[in-house]
Amino acid sequence: MKYGFFDDACKEYVIERPDTPLPWINYLGNKDFIGLISNTAGGYAFYRDARLQRLTRFRYNNVPADTGGRYYYIKEKGKKAWNPGFLPMKTALDEYKCRHGLGYSIFESKKDNLSCSLTCFVPLNENCELHRIELKNESKSTKQLTLYSFIEWCLWDAVDDSENYQRNLNIAEIEVEDNVIYHKTEYRERRSHYAFFGVNRDISGFDTDRDVFLGPLRGFSEPLVVEEEKSQNSIAHGWYPCASHEIKLELLPGETEELIFILGYVENSPKEKWESEFKNNIINKSKAKQIMTRFATSESVVKEFNALSDYWQSLLSRFKLDSGIVKLNRMVNIWHQYQCMTTFNLSRSASYFESGIGRGMGFRDSCQDILGFVHLIPERARERILDLASVQREDGSTYHQYQPLTKMGNHNIGSNFNDDPLWLIAATVAYIKETGDSKILLEDLPFDMVKGTEASLFEHLRRSVQYTLGHLGPHGLPLIGRADWNDCLNLNSFSTEPGESFQSVDNKESGVAESIFIAAMFVLYGEQYAELCQRFGGADGAKEAKLMGQELDKMRNAIYEHGWDGEWFLRAYNAFGEKVGSQSCKEGKIYIEPQGFCVMAKLGLDNGMAEQALDSMHDHLLGDFGVELLSPCYTKYYKELGEISSYPPGYKENGSIFCHNNPWASIAETKLGRGDEAFDLYRRICPAYLEKFSEIHRTEPYVYSQTIAGRSSSSYGEAKNSWLTGTAAWTFVNISQAILGIKPDYDGLKIEPCLPKEISSYKVERFFRGCTYKISIERIELSESESNKIKTKIFVDGEELSAGTQQIPIQDKVECEVLVQV
Ligand code: BGC
Ligand code: NOJ
């Protein structure tokens, strides 16, 4: 069952009913000012840090789930009021649509021949959300209306806001001037920022005290002020500050009215904090007024809206696919890339499942997010890589998380996830291959943000490698530490206290528990490091590359000798040196991660292990909705395994389809040249392909979720944790590079597709180092005997590249035509 449809021409998903199985959300804003918005206009806004600078209040985990948002109440004389997004009043609408687009959401609704279109977006270069409302009287008689806006302010720090009432119910402060409501809580003391909510026309009243607006014993679905059509002009002192405007409108038959509401954020320098030195409690509003003036007219807002569309148009023109397959085109051209932008911006901090208060930026998460984002805005990827490297510690280990505002490593969770350091190589290499900017390796960066410890990024990467080499276990495989990519495989935690966090409990390092996953990572990214040495390592580079080569051989041998279980790659050794992910285990006999990652690292390609590992993965882990993480699922808690066995069977890391690792399996298939299998794995978890099962899948059909309940669960196929998942980046890498075969490399653009039968020809436009490559790829059907002889042929602007090469050299034109025959 579907709840809407893809409008590909507009690059939108159009939701046709408000009662989606979960709030289906979208993100407004790309950089500093961010809003989350659901299909019923719920959600919140924040400036840069979802925890520390939250503008509006949202109640996570509430009943109903989606409580708190940007609410407009439309009240016609004598009739029940209604909201363009259906919530919170739930008045039945005659028409309802929510269009989630790239950086905007539009609500189109109608009631009693009054139509309303509400467009919400964050303009490109201003810290505010714009809400443009168009009301049209489609009836034959004049309509007398009152429109109420409503948002509730959050007292900035979202954690304190939800727990420290003895203080924070005393601190709220508000100012109202003309048609703008200013939220200035804590401005009198240590904050130099405030928020405002204004409208571009005269108001007949306002409220800033939530309880006055709602009235006694009432919720958002029945505000007294709306019912009585009478704002109280209340000014909040402490308690619960809100912002609501009252606007009276008269619409003649056929007449349309447009209003612009602006929710903004302003920082003042300490010197210019106040209106004047004599008016110490009156905030300096000049910046807010500038923003209000800038967007005072519909024309200016429409212009900004168009600028946002142009911006996305130009970003998405960097990779465009024409495959003839509608679902594939829509995911590649629109939603994959859009989700990559979102994960890059937010890491795992703020979604409808991540509360914005728990985590800052994840180290490994952000490194991987770069892989799918770097082609969009390489400069921002560069900045991020430098930030990430600066939270690395001198011994090469890295903080697991850091705070986006301070850029400091997060002490609560610390370090010891032994895969973390190697991801920095992955991100850096992807960046250099995309841009050619190898100078980034020379950037001097501190360790752990400590001044005086600066060393080049190259040195940081070296420390990553050395960290792994300095932490090998009894089989010569990397020690897992607290956990590896699977942060629930806690082989050294032995946690027995209820409620103790597996992520931060004392790590009782055994010096024994080893990870085959990190071993495979070491091979993959260690090879990339060796190549960096060879290419950019200066005089000693070749020597270092050679030494690295020896280490890589040792690691490969350790994997072949101790990491192979007979039919698949082992997952790990626990703290007692016992196998994890082996035929010999009672539960958790086979895991997906080492199958995917070992083969991605080209392990076992010559000795049959790769093929056997992937076949075993198919046999044991593959269901209709993708490849499960492990099988059989753990049915009881094993303290020597940790959090993974804390989840009921089929959920999360305990054997759900944990989408992030499915693209690894698909990329692995391409290493074996199995295009059909690769594409099949791509398709099984791909949201657009699951749209028809929306009532089962439940999360948004336009973006990936972290996890889909597995066959052992009681809700097979049900997804959770949509939006912020590494699946976004890895899927884009998989489909664009591994399957469609467009691979940026140091000296050019490589074309190495591995295609399924259903794709016989396709076109890609790829912007790469200043040139747009217009590539047409055709598959030539070859007989068995021919296929050994004939290799890929590539013609660039009509000229054939020398036989055998699959790399188009860097072009110094702005555009070129490429014809590829494979
Ligand atoms: C989850 C993981 C997550 C980790 C850190 C665990 O409870 O299962 O998927 O990465 O917490 O937040
Ligand atoms: C989610 C975390 O954000 C990510 O870092 C981790 O790799 C996966 N869970 C797997 O456990």
Nearest-angstrom CA–CA distance, 526 and 545: 10
The finding on whether 355 has its CB within 6 A of some atom of ligand 1 is no
Residue 319: exposed, middle, or buried by beta-carbon count in 10 A (0-12, 13-18, 19+)? Answer: buried
Residue nearest to atom 10 of ligand 1 (CA): 487
Instruction: Quote the tokens at residue 300.
Output: 């200016």
**Ligand 2 centroid, distance to 487 Cα (angstroms):** 6
Determine the distance separating the centroid of ligand 2 and the alpha carbon of 622, expressed in angstroms: 21
685 pLDDT above the threshold of 80: yes
Give the residue whose CA is nearest to atom 3 of ligand 1: 487
Q: Is the pLDDT of residue 472 over 80?
A: yes
The answer, yes or no, to whether residue 176 has pLDDT greater than 70, is: yes
> At 257, which helix (H) or strand (E)?
strand 256-267
The pLDDT, as a whole number, for residue 787 is: 58
Among 487, 630, 658, 706, residue to substitute to test ligand 1 (most atoms within 8 Å of Cβ)? 487
Q: Are strands 12-15 and 95-101 parallel, antiparallel or unpaired?
A: antiparallel
If you average pLDDT over residues 246-255, what whole number do you get? 98
Task: Tell whether the torsion through CA atoms of 610, 611, 617 and 623 is positive or negative.
Answer: positive
Q: Does residue 802 carry a pLDDT above 80?
A: yes
652 lines ligand 1 (CB under 6 A): yes
Residues 756/817/436/753 CA torsion (nearest 10 deg): 10
Residue located nearest, by CA, to atom 5 of ligand 2 = 365
**DSSP class of 564:** B
Cis peptide leading into residue 64 (ω within 30°): yes
Coil, strand or helix at 689: helix
pLDDT of residue 780: 87
Q: What's the rounded Cα separation, in Å, for the pair 731 and 689?
A: 14
Can you tell me which atom of ligand 2 is nearest the CA of 489? 11
Distance CA 661, CA 59 (A): 32
Integer Cα distance of 764 and 318 in angstroms: 10
3-class secondary-structure state, position 58: coil
Both tokens assigned to 36: 């989350």
Task: Tell me how far CA of residue 472 lies from CA of 225, 241, 396, 523, in angstroms.
Answer: 67, 56, 14, 14
Look at the alpha carbons of 208, 214, 220, 221 in this order and tell me if their dihedral is positive or negative.
negative
List pLDDT tens digits, range 261-286: 999 999 999 999 999 877 778 999 99
DSSP-derived 3-state class of residue 640 = coil
Residue nearest to atom 11 of ligand 2 (CA): 486
Token pair listed for 343: 């994960």
pLDDT of residue 344: 97
Residue 528 region by backbone torsions, left for phi larger than 0, else alpha for psi between -120 and 50, else beta: alpha
Closest CA to 50 of 61, 62, 42, 58: 58
- Given the CA of residue 652, which atom of ligand 1 is nearest to it? 8
| Res 794: pLDDT | 96
Ligand 2 binding pocket mutation candidate from 660, 664, 723 (most atoms within 8 A of CB): 660
User: How many angstroms is it from 486 CA to the middle of ligand 2?
Assistant: 6
Marked catalytic residue, from 157, 484, 487, 565 = 487
- Residue 788: pLDDT band (50, 70, 90) is low
Pocket test for ligand 2, best of 363, 388, 485, 659 (most atoms within 8 A of CB): 485
What are 412-431's pLDDT values in tens digits? 777 899 999 999 999 999 99
Atom of ligand 2 nearest to the CA of 483: 11
* Average pLDDT score over residue span 347-353: 95
Average pLDDT for the chain? 96
Is any ligand 1 atom within 6 A of the Cβ of residue 628?
no
Instruction: List the Cα angle 404/405/410 in 5-degree steps.
Output: 60
Task: Answer yes or no: are the C-beta atoms of 673 and 743 closer than 8 Å.
Answer: no
487 assigned to active site: yes
Contact (CB, 8 A) for 176 and 182: yes
Residues 290-306: what's their mean pLDDT?
98
Q: Which helix (H) or strand (E) holds 163?
A: none
User: What is the separation of C-alpha 518 from the centre of its chain, rounded to a whole number of angstroms?
Assistant: 24
- State the distance from the centre of ligand 2 to the C-alpha of 773, rounded, in angstroms: 35
Each residue's pLDDT tens digit, 374-422: 999 999 999 999 999 999 999 999 999 988 788 888 887 778 999 999 9
Q: What is residue 359's predicted lDDT score, i.e. its pLDDT?
A: 75
- Does the Cβ of 653 fall within 6 Å of ligand 1? yes
Question: Residue 590 to residues 489, 571, 584, 645, 683: CA-CA distances in angstroms?
Answer: 14, 7, 10, 14, 23
User: Can you say how many angstroms the Cα of residue 275 is from the centroid of all Cα atoms in its chain?
Assistant: 40
CA proximity to 557, closest of 472, 614, 485:
472
Task: Report the run of H or E that residue 261 belongs to, with start and end.
Answer: strand 256-267
**pLDDT tens-digit profile of 625-657?**
999 999 999 999 999 999 999 999 999 999 999
Question: What is the C-alpha to C-alpha distance for residues 706 and 193, in angstroms, rounded to an integer?
Answer: 35
Q: How far is the CA of 36 from the centre of ligand 1 (A)?
A: 22
* pLDDT for residue 407: 83
Q: Quick one: what percent of the chain has pLDDT higher than 70? A: 99
Pocket test of ligand 1: the residue of 488, 630, 705, 708 to mutate, having most ligand atoms within 8 Å of its CB, is: 488
CA–centroid distance, 816 to ligand 2, in Å, is 40
Q: How far is CA 386 from CA 302, 456, 529, 662, 738, in A?
A: 37, 10, 17, 29, 27
Helices of type H across 686-820:
687-690, 694-697, 727-733, 784-789
Cα(438)–Cα(429) distance, rounded to whole angstroms? 9
Ligand 2 pocket, CB under 6 A? 348, 362, 364-365, 485-488, 653
Coil/strand/helix, residue 659: helix
Residue 501 CA, ligand 1 centroid: distance in Å: 10
H helix or E strand, kind and range, residue 485 = none
Confidence at 785, pLDDT banded by 50, 70, 90: low
Give the Cα separation of 355 and 600 in Å (integer).
34
Please give the C-alpha separations between residue 394 and each of 115, 402, 744, in angstroms, as whole numbers. Answer: 61, 16, 31
